[in-house]
Structure 1
Amino acid sequence: MTDKDFHFLVESAGMAPSSDNTQPWTFSPGPDFIDVYMVRDRLLAIDVLDMYSFISIGAAIENMILAAGIRGLECRPDFSPADALDQKNDSSQSLIPVARLHFTPADSVSAYPAVTFSERHTDRRKFSTRVLPDSMIKELSGAAAGSGTAVHWIRDIDTRKQLVGIDSVFSSILLSHPPLFDGLFNTVKFSRRKLLSDGWGMDIKSLDLPFPAAIALRIFGSRSLGRIIARWGVGPLVAKGLSERLSFCGALCLVTAPGRSRRAFLEAGRTMQSVWLKATELGLSVHPYGVITQYLHMAELEPWRFTREAVATIKDAKPHFSGLFGCPETRHPVMILRLGYGTGRQRSRLTVRFPPEKIMTAVP
């Protein structure tokens, strides 16, 4: 593996999506391998088992695997470092080892279009409600790359509306509980200058918030605005408006994992990314949704973050949620993707990313 190979692989990995654009990864080269680390300083404030950070890194690894083929290399991921974390997680580590990727010469060079990495983006706008055809669902499902993972689909409008109802309830819990609200927006950057300076986090303009909501966030900040919403009891009304986007799509895809191990989350990230990239190739818009899946895990593993009433509400909703997707309750839901045909309006603003040199690390 040459220096040019390593640079291309890291550049490709860095284009992967990450929760709140935290980009919680860094990469260290070896003679024929790359070690993948999670950066503790860029983990989400509220993320049970660091699930979304591992999913994000899994997406970056999937990009790297595909990019390796373009360079005439074959990549074999080894997730045993992540397995070790399930046994003992050293909270003192600033860089947490999660995987080693081994590279060998491939028999041929992949024709995968590298431009797909940069063309993939999050689109939070409303999509056409035209249902995606069976042939497209089959192609998207066939792209799922993660071992042990599965994808489940909702397409008909009535079922989508039922999911809107569940998401509205969960989002209302979020908006009515200030600590959760503050955790949601603690990575938001209110100026382009601050975003460019830090190199990570969410540009408030990329959220496509209604103009009054964006102004209120700028004026009050997330903590104060969360308390205002909770005090005036308008959380359910705001939540309903935000959740309605779930009905504006051609299909909803649920990614599930066989368990809650770090390896399972990494594989789920690979599946999410491979489906997303295929959707990009097919000209579809994609928007990831994580509130429902996050809260289902959190209510079980970290119930102290909610009120008792909220915990009961979330747990009671799980069978209905699983039933909508035709998903066995033994599976662990980790991410919802909203997919559809774009409406021709301007797409969501692209996020700022670290340059490759900033996510390369020399680790002894």
Structure 2
Amino acid sequence: MSPTYAAPLLSLAQFRALVDSASTAPSPDNNQPWLFSEADGAIDCYHDPSRALPSDVRGMFDLTGLGAAIENICISARAEGLEPRVEAIGDDEPDQRAKRAMGPAMGPAMGPEADRGDLLSSNPTGPRHVATVSFKTPDTSVANDPLRRHLEGRHTCRKPYSRQPLPVAARDRIEEQVRQFPGAQLDWLSGARALKETARIVALADLLRFQHRPFHEELFRQLRFDRQSVVATRDGLDVRTLELPRGIPAVLKWLGDWRRMQRVHRLGLGRLLAMPSARLVRCSGAVGVLSVSGWSTSELLTAGRALQRAWLAATAEGLALQPLGSVPIYLAMSNRPSLAGDCHHDLADRHPCLADRLAPAQQRTLSQLKQRWERLYDAPQGRVLSMLFRIGYSRPASARSLRRPVDELILSCPELE
């Protein structure tokens, strides 16, 4: 018998618990670009552009992160006996729900004086409603999602991995999670030759991040070098999660001054900065290649949902995982002229594309990256590379990134007050 779509009203405790689950999702450099509100027993999910990274082409990674957060809501809802249904808001659809989120901000994410209801209704660069998760009470009990127990355990691990190939059965179970989403596809790069070439490509991407001043500044805005800043912001990259050798965090902090970084490049030492990431890719069981069929909000959210389930399945298998996001972002930048018309929402216009200001030498690096990738991976025409990740067996990570408090993620809702 099919479930009955009678929308149950969420209690405040249920709503907060689901938002708390959403908050554990991965996001680009741990920027946590999400906000949530309750409306008629459903959860409206918003993209918060005030937390976007300028390098994020068309909000691709922010929407991927939101998709992962939405999947966490779905997984946790089933544990509450609720069957979730996700409705993405089309790129050309007017936002009919923004007016539901009313009242003063419940946290400092957009400034202590910000009224989020006003921002939603009148500010063109304010939070954008991208999806609604509604719930139904089925006539029969909802099967508990087996991935639920791994939500808290999922994390990024940047340690070296074993080169042991992934067991075929484990790989199949991870792929099975991705196949649940039409349009999502997971391929694998494995073997010494493919991993070595992938390592070169990742090194080029990392070199570009250190070469171009806007990319460099973006990275250092996200880094947290001391415990005080980690706890104060509860976002960004805790330098302890980078698994750097003793003494290297101090060197990295010193290189946060662009003039010093320029001197390093003038001495021809810039490529040394990309060597650690290349070594880590070579020390992996495989590299996963996640793609979707287009650039719409719905498809990018699907990428995030598929990534999250694949990551949780990897966690269930005892496997470590690290996203390699620089490669998809820079490939998207290199293809930027061909994106015209593929995505109609205004995320693309909220930040200028940092690739437009690349110097000729940096353009050559970007071109080399693209050429190497196209020789390595024969992508089907029209597919969008959503994420690259390394995967394998490893010791546990030394530290994990923090998350912002739930109160900072909730748009005030009269129904819950």
Fold-level similarity (TM above 0.5): yes
CA distance in 2, matches of 1:237, 1:45: 25
Q: Choose which of 141, 144, 149 in structure 1 pairs with 2:175.
A: 141
State the match for 1:118 in structure 2: 152
Q: 1:93 aligns with which of 125, 129, 133?
A: 125
1:211-252: CA deviations, max 9, x gaps? 343112333525344323323221222213322211111111
Q: CA offset at residue 203 of structure 1?
A: 1.1
Contact 1:177 1:226 in 2 (8 A): no
Deviation of 1:75 after TM superposition, in Å, equals 1.1
| From 267, 280, 283, the counterpart of 2:315 | 280
Query: Which residue does 1:188 correspond to in 2?
Result: 223
- Following superposition, the deviation at residue 316 of structure 1 comes to 5.1
For structure 2, the 5+ residue unaligned runs are 1-9, 96-121, 337-352
1:312-341 CA-partner distances (Å, limit 9, x unpaired): 553454354245344324311121111101
User: Residue 252 of structure 1: which of 259, 264, 287 is its match?
Assistant: 287
CA–CA distance in structure 1, aligned partners of residues 200 and 301 of structure 2? 29
Change (3 A) 1:69 1:83: farther
Greater mean deviation of Cα atoms: 51-60 or 226-235: 226-235
Aligned partner of 1:296 among 331, 356, 359: 331
SS class of match (2:389): strand
Q: Does 1:336 align with 2:371?
A: no
Q: In structure 1, the residue corresponding to 2:256 is in which secondary structure? A: helix
Counterparts of 2:164 and 2:202 in 1: how far apart (Å)? 21
Distance 2:303 2:94 in 1: 17
Question: How do residues 13-162 of structure 1 correspond to structure 2 at under 5 angstroms?
Answer: 13-84=22-93, 92-106=124-138, 107-113=140-146, 114-144=148-178, 145-162=180-197
Q: Residue in 2 aligned with 1:327?
A: 379
Aligned to 2:363: 311
Say whether 1:217 aligns with 2:226: no
Give the partner amino acid of 1:287.
Q
- Cα deviation for residue 22 of structure 1 reads 0.9
Corresponding position: 1:168 with 2:203: yes
User: 1:14 touches 1:353 (CA, 8 Å); kept in 2?
Assistant: yes
2:387 is matched by which residue type in structure 1?
Answer: M
Question: Contact 1:82/1:97 (CA < 8 Å) preserved in 2?
Answer: no
2:293 matches 1:234: no
* Counterpart check, 1:348 vs 2:357: no
Once the two structures are overlaid, the 10-residue window that deviates more, 313-322 or 144-153, is 313-322
Q: 1:206 aligns with which of 230, 241, 258?
A: 241
1:124-146 CA-partner distances (Å, limit 9, x unpaired): 01000000122211111001144
Identity fraction in percent: 29
One-letter amino acid of the counterpart of residue 352, structure 1: L
1:36, CA displacement in angstroms? 0.4
TM-score (norm 1): 0.91
Which secondary structure state, in structure 1, belongs to the residue aligned with residue 152 of structure 2? helix
Whether contact under 8 Å (1:152, 1:326) holds in the other structure is: no
Q: 1:260 to 1:226 in 2, by over 3 A?
A: farther
Mark the CA change 1:269 to 1:83 in structure 2 (over 3 Å): closer, same or farther: farther
Indicate conservation of the 8 Å contact 1:82/1:99, yes or no.
Answer: no
CA distance in 1, matches of 2:161, 2:94: 40
CA contact (8 A) 1:251 1:340 kept: yes
Q: Is the 8 A contact 2:320 2:392 kept in 1?
A: yes
Question: Is the counterpart of residue 362 in structure 1 residue 412 in structure 2?
Answer: yes
Deviates more, 1:58-67 or 1:329-338: 329-338
The one-letter code of the counterpart of 1:143 is Q
| Alpha-carbon contact 2:162-2:284 (below 8 Å) kept | yes
Q: Is the 8 A contact 1:83 1:261 kept in 2?
A: no
Partner of 2:17: 8
In structure 2, C-alpha distance between the alignment counterparts of 1:354 and 1:58, rounded to whole Å = 18
Distance 1:238 1:199 in 2: 26
Distance 1:46 1:96 in 2: 19
Moved more, 215-224 or 92-101: 215-224
Structure 1 residue 7 displacement after superposition: 1.9
d(CA) in 2 for partners of 1:363 and 1:296?
A: 40
1:299 touches 1:306 (CA, 8 Å); kept in 2?
no
Shift of 1:96: 1.5
